[in-house]
A = this chain, B = another copy of it.
Amino acid sequence: MERRLTRQGEARKAELLAHAARLFAERGYQQTRVIDIVRSAGVAKGLFYWYFDNKDALFRELIGEMRERLRAEQTVALVGVGSPLGRLFAGTLASVRFLAAHRELYALMQIEGQTGDAFTDELRETTTAHARDTGTLIEAGQADGTIRADDDPTTLAHAVLATVIHLVYFQRTGRVEESVDGLATTAARFVTHAIAATGQDAHAAEREAMGAFVAMATN
């Protein structure tokens, strides 16, 4: 592709991406027609193909955008938190908040696995990386005795991810009424207690993470 775009062009392209993200979130990728996107943006159909090779290409751009944003957010959330369990608590808090705040983008991830399409792997990469990070965190916690060592760290890591992802999904689809902050706290407590060696360890992690969060907010 590689097309030279003026400022107006960039704006129009971003506009199309935004409308597409919203529609995909509302009714899914397959159910959203190109004509829906352009009508929503108030332009003619042909213009879509001025900015994107095809429907798939636009989808890939959205995935990339999402991945970047998520990564950026994650790294910020962990400053000032040292212990594995504390980092897990803080990371979960941040993940829930992020996913809830960017439902349009998040809904795209949910599609993964449904389609046997080419970009399934591309979509899963975000989740895979997240699982890997959480796994090493859990191993560290098992080493220093703050995390139960009677279960496989990789499986536990996926259990943590599963809780976060699907719980936000429940909230997005209106099954859980709670506020985002409440949901984030409950989720963080849930996963921390789930893998902590003792209740005391879990509570200590919560105090540490909350302290760092307040410190950062007031900073």
Contact with B along A167-205 (1 / 0, CB 8 A): 101100101111000110011011101111111000000
A183 to B155, CA, bound (A): 8
Q: Please, which residues of chain B bring their CB within 8 A of the CB of A169?
A: 113, 162
State which of B26, B113, B162, B190 has its C-beta within 8 Å of the C-beta of A165: B162
A115 to B29, CA, bound (A): 9
- Contact in complex: B31, A115 (CB < 8 Å): yes
What is the total number of copies of this protein in its complex? 2
Q: Please, which residues of chain B bring their CB within 8 A of the CB of A166?
A: 161-163, 165-166
Some 6 contacts from A to B, beta carbons below 8 A apart, are A26-B116, A110-B113, A154-B176, A159-B187, A159-B190, A162-B167
Tell me the A residues contacting B by CB distance below 8 Å: 26-28, 30-31, 110-111, 113-116, 124, 127-128, 131, 148, 150-152, 154-156, 158-159, 161-163, 165-167, 169-170, 173, 175-178, 182-183, 186-187, 189-191, 193-199
